[in-house]
Amino acid sequence: METAEKYNHRLIEPKWQKRWEEANLYRAIDFDKRPKKYILFEFPYPSGERLHVGHTFSFTGTDVLARFSRMNGFNVLLPIGWDAFGLPAENYAIKTGINPMITTVKNIANSKIQAKHLALSLDWEREISTTEPAYYRWTQWIFLQWYKKGLAKKVEMPINWCPRCKIGLANEEVVAGSCERCGAEVTRKRIKQWVVKITDYADRLMEGLSRTDFIEKVKAAQINWIGKSEGAEIEFAIKGRESKIKVFTTRPDTLYGATFMVLSPEHEIVDQINNDEVKHYVEKSLKKSDLERTDLAKEKTGVFSGLMAVNPVTGKEIPIWISDFVLSTYGTGAIMSVPAHDDRDFAFAKKFGLPIVPVIAAKKEWDFTKAPYLETEKGTSINSEEWNGLPTGEAIKKAVQWLEEKKIGQKTVSYHLRDWIFSRQHYWGEPIPIILCSKCGEVPVPESDLPVELPKVENYQPTETGESPLAGIEGWVKTVCPQCGGPARRETDTMPNWAGSDWYFLRYLDPRNSKAPVDLKKAKYWLPVDIYVGGDEHNTLHLLYSRFTYQFLWDQGFVPKEHPEPYYKRLSHGVILGSDGQRMSKSRGNVINPDVIWEAFGVDALRTYLMFMGPFEGTMTWSQESMEGCYRFIKRVWGLVIGKCELEAEKKAGSGNLNLKRKLHQTIKKVGEDIARMKFNTAVAAMMEFVNVWQEENSELAKEDTGKFLQILAPFAPYLAEELWERLGNNFSIHATNWPEYDKVLIREEMVTVVVQVNGKLREKLTIDNEKREAKDEIEKLAKESERVRKYLADKKIRKVIFVPGRLINFVV
């Protein structure tokens, strides 16, 4: 007996990859009449390790959706690019001396081979890289627009500083107060940094969310990060001095309970205090890293300033303390302390023996000398003179009114969001396009001179002074002032990684434009991004910076006024853990390399498994056995269809089995609905179910119907579907066909199962003709006649009968 041809992915994959590329099958067409759909995944960082299985997972899910949308008549844009600036490339350069541009180009080439092999239906004509001068020219241009509008400024601020490496460190690089590289104790250093005023857009960034369809958790994360809180600013007079101290509080109604004040060590008043103890404390605090200062476990420290303030409502003198638990970056950098109703204030009061006055009535027994009373949101004021007895909401209103009348305070809003520190003292980033002239001061590089290209350097190590390595290249730094023509120097700070990734989605729409970041008409056609798929780790910073940048460009008219928000829907993709249930990492040795998998089982099996593993947003554990289960599924489909082809040669097209045909149409419906809801796992399950029935029914599927099944499988297993589509004698390409329609009449089952319950418990199942699904009386009669039901109904009185057509009948006795 001759054996049927076996499935061999190694033969079909290269063949179709080539055909697809030649046919340019997935090009997105500007201004096409079909409805557009812009589907975007976060562009990858091309590291030396190339794409990992996490990338293949989220890219495949996005690709399935894109392919499905295309088959449903949409003009789909699915682009890719490379977020190629950043520290790993720079660190590699420091180690090896090889220019990051060289390694980047190499890594991109590798990743590209992988992305193509994975059969992503990308429009490669729109490929971009943030490190290309033609791209970062516009990243720099956006900076200049901020600068023009006064949103980008150079400000002196403290950074984490390693005195041994002589380098500024990001918060992540500080481990337990020490430098990650050398272990030296990290101190604070004040340097001038570029800062972008994202806080000006705090309200807009919150309001804009209502125009999006982000999943709830993303909206919540953004709102939390912006952290708007309404409250009041109150001025406290200092005894024996002219100056006053402003505090921010969300609870002006507790003013009677404010028994002391605390200033942050950075507060301006502190500088004016001439007291050794204070100086010593402040010096020590300023040296501490952010991490140390915000360590919750540590005991409160502090020092008395020697000054007294006056509580404006009680007229009493209260001491002013200094402590590093008060943040200089939030509110006014000073607080009024109400120890009776705040954890931190209470701890501080206890430690330094300060008075505690309760001002909110406790609803349970409470000893205010032992613990603070914190459930104050719906409380009632006490010990507060004219505010006594008022519920908190009323008391706040009354307090604000009083403060405003006396002109010592007013209603204000405070945000958690801080301005965006835009300077990096590193090499591998976009140079900030500013020139420093000794005569004219800060001068922006004229737009016509952009891009300011990153020069080649010999040494990528930051300098002794903490400046970026660019500072060491005299030939580049020395320039002429564009205003006066005199000698000047270039800014040597570079931009953060976020700068290039802020606006990349705009560049995809018009990647070769040399007049503007994006053409307005093209942007009007394609925007907003319909679906943006990314990781949870980017739900705050990246998404917020990106929305801010877009809103700013919108204000300036550089993006279409029809689209005030860039992204319509945001979805977060899940995470794949190693087979040990741990995060994949080289040191654990649990990394799954997609190349190895598709070499063994083929891309189609890998894609199918990735989609089948679990919900798209979930956390999933890699299972090699389950992977092989999907490989079996792919091979089974191959066997069935190839068998079919051979059968056909003898038998010609049959009409096929009606049951199987019904199952097929039900599957077409289910798979389509599931993909639209991003429920890829159940879509794959439905196809498996169909294949099981197919196998049982002995291949009695008409040729045309076999083709329909391949069409719904195509988004998941593009190679297999294309190959078998051809073998069935169809024209290239299955991926350019329309999604098959299902027969609304055919999908109805002839028989339905009606569940018979007694008091809600399942007692019997009846199989009835679907035509009779509404026939309540008949079904009730049938049910009562059943032996098993009778047992439970015997000598009981039926109080009620619940009937759900086609589903159940429930006797309540």
Partner RNA sequence: GGCCAGGUGGCGAAAUGGCAGACGCGUAGGUCUCAAAAACCUAUGUUUCGAAAGAAACUUGAGGGUUCAACUCCCUCCCUGGCCACCA
For RNA, the binding residues in 754-783 under the rule CB under 7 A are 755, 757, 759-760, 762, 765
Residue with tokens 């200049």: 144
Nearest alpha-carbon partner for 490 in 453, 536, 522: 453
Question: 355 or 487, CB closer to RNA?
Answer: 355
The footprint of RNA on residues 622-661 (CB under 7 A) is: 623, 625-626, 628-630, 632-633, 635-636
Which among 21-29, 293-301, 550-558, 561-569 is the span making contact with RNA, rule CB under 7 A?
293-301
By CB under 7 A, residue 682 contacts RNA: yes
Q: Is the dihedral of CA 64, 713, 76, 669 positive or negative?
A: negative
Out of 91, 110, 178, 229, point to the residue binding RNA (CB under 7 A): 229
Minimum separation from the CB atom of position 811 to RNA (A): 8
Out of 11, 220, 516, 676, point to the residue binding RNA (CB under 7 A): 220
By CB under 7 A, residue 146 contacts RNA: no
Minimum separation from the CB atom of position 692 to RNA (A): 5
Q: Which residues pair with 321 in a beta bridge?
A: 262, 304
By CB under 7 A, residue 24 contacts RNA: no
Amino acid at the residue 223: I
Question: 461 or 682, CB closer to RNA?
Answer: 682
Minimum separation from the CB atom of position 431 to RNA (A): 28
Which among 67-75, 183-191, 195-203, 675-683 is the span making contact with RNA, rule CB under 7 A?
675-683
Residue with tokens 């812009």: 38
Question: Between 413 and 432, how does the x/- string for binding to RNA read (CB under 7 A)?
Answer: -x-x----------------
Q: CA distances (Å), 786 to each of 222, 276, 304, 772, 794, in order? A: 59, 95, 87, 18, 12
- Rounded Cα distance, 183 and 180, in Å: 6
Number of H-type helices and E-type strands within the chain: 26, 29
The footprint of RNA on residues 344-363 (CB under 7 A) is: 344
Out of 481, 529, 684, 713, point to the residue binding RNA (CB under 7 A): 684
By CB under 7 A, residue 679 contacts RNA: yes
Minimum separation from the CB atom of position 244 to RNA (A): 17
- Rounded Cα distance, 513 and 299, in Å: 58
The footprint of RNA on residues 378-417 (CB under 7 A) is: 414, 416
Contact predicate 221/539, CB 8 Å: yes
Phi, psi of 507 (to 5 degrees): -70, -30
Which among 482-490, 513-521, 654-662, 679-687 is the span making contact with RNA, rule CB under 7 A?
679-687
Minimum separation from the CB atom of position 338 to RNA (A): 7
Minimum separation from the CB atom of position 415 to RNA (A): 8
Minimum separation from the CB atom of position 291 to RNA (A): 9
Out of 614, 773, 784, 793, point to the residue binding RNA (CB under 7 A): 614
Question: 626 or 730, CB closer to RNA?
Answer: 626
The footprint of RNA on residues 521-580 (CB under 7 A) is: 536-537, 539-540
Question: 220 or 484, CB closer to RNA?
Answer: 220
By CB under 7 A, residue 173 contacts RNA: no
Spatial CB neighbours of 583, under 8 Å, sequence gap ≥ 6: 575, 577
Minimum separation from the CB atom of position 797 to RNA (A): 14
Burial (CB < 10 A; 0-12, 13-18, 19+), residue 497, is buried
Q: Total number of residues binding RNA (CB under 7 A)?
A: 81
Q: Is the dihedral of CA 76, 554, 215, 115 positive or negative?
A: positive
Out of 166, 246, 279, 300, point to the residue binding RNA (CB under 7 A): 300
- Rounded Cα distance, 659 and 647, in Å: 20
Out of 25, 361, 421, 685, point to the residue binding RNA (CB under 7 A): 685
Minimum separation from the CB atom of position 730 to RNA (A): 25
Helix H or strand E segment including 219: helix 216-226
Q: CA distances (Å), 318 to each of 41, 312, 327, 510, 564, in order? A: 56, 10, 21, 63, 50
By CB under 7 A, residue 796 contacts RNA: no
Out of 89, 93, 196, 221, point to the residue binding RNA (CB under 7 A): 221
Out of 446, 485, 618, 643, point to the residue binding RNA (CB under 7 A): 618
Helix H or strand E segment including 522: helix 520-526
Long-range Cβ contact pairs of 760-763 (< 8 A, separation 24 or more): 760/810, 763/788, 763/789, 763/792
Residue-wise DSSP of 622-670: --HHHHHHHHHHHHHHHHHHHHHHHHHHHH------HHHHHHHHHHHHH
Q: CA distances (Å), 254 to each of 57, 262, 686, in order? A: 53, 16, 61
Minimum separation from the CB atom of position 288 to RNA (A): 9
The footprint of RNA on residues 233-262 (CB under 7 A) is: 248-251
Q: CA distances (Å), 761 to each of 28, 755, 757, 782, 806, in order? A: 56, 10, 5, 18, 17
The footprint of RNA on residues 692-751 (CB under 7 A) is: 692, 695-696
By CB under 7 A, residue 331 contacts RNA: yes
Out of 44, 61, 100, 231, point to the residue binding RNA (CB under 7 A): 231
